[in-house]
Structure 1
């Protein structure tokens, strides 16, 4: 079984939380690793995602946490939405 790992950097403009990880993380850039394995017995090369992890800095140490990639995508989309300032009082 062949596994490949790809790494990308994601950036949050605001503090964020992720399902399964306690606490709120500060805004900033974070490395995300995706592990994929080859799907055998196909006439073309294809991969299936088997794990996604994020590197977090906590208490002066780097920690790697497994995450749901769908949750990560949702949080990134939510972070990218513009904030609407409150309406002035009438």
Structure 2
């Protein structure tokens, strides 16, 4: 079975919260990794998402490393939407 990964960078202007996290993540740019599986039997090439992960900094006193948090595409979309709305609602200076 053929598999592939797609990588996308997403940026949050404000701190944000996702399910499964105790504390909010800092504003910044994060890498979103989507694992996709080839769909066989079609007359054209097609891939179906099977897992989505957000690459986040790992908490470690000794090493600076990364960890992957499994998320849903809907959860990421909603967090990005809330972040964009908060930008629009801030008063101008």
* Bin of the TM-score, shorter chain as denominator length: 0.7 to 0.9
Task: Quote the Cα distance in structure 1 between the aligned partners of 2:65 and 2:22.
Answer: 16
Structure 1 segments of 4+ aligned residues over 3 angstroms from their partners = none
Moved more, 51-60 or 9-18: 51-60
Structure 2 equivalent of residue 24 of structure 1:
24
Higher share in helix: 2
Structure 2, unpaired ranges of 5+ = none
Correspondence for 1:36? 36
TM-score by length of 2: 0.84
User: Are 2:71 and 1:70 equivalent residues in the alignment?
Assistant: no
Residues 1-37 of structure 1 deviation map (CA, whole Å, 9 limit, x = unaligned) = 1001010100000000112233210000000100111
- CA RMSD for the aligned pairs? 1.3
Structure 1 residue 45, shift from structure 2 partner:
0.9
Which secondary structure does the structure 2 equivalent of 1:78 belong to? helix
2:89 is paired with a residue of what secondary structure?
A: coil
- Bigger CA radius of gyration: 1
Partners of 1:15 and 1:84 lie apart in 2 by 15
Q: Does residue 3 of structure 1 match 2:14?
A: no
> Structure 2: how far apart are the matches of 1:10 and 1:29?
6
- Count of residue correspondences: 85
Equivalence for 1:83: 89
Deviation at 1:84, TM superposition (A): 4.2
Unaligned runs of 5+ in 1: 86-90
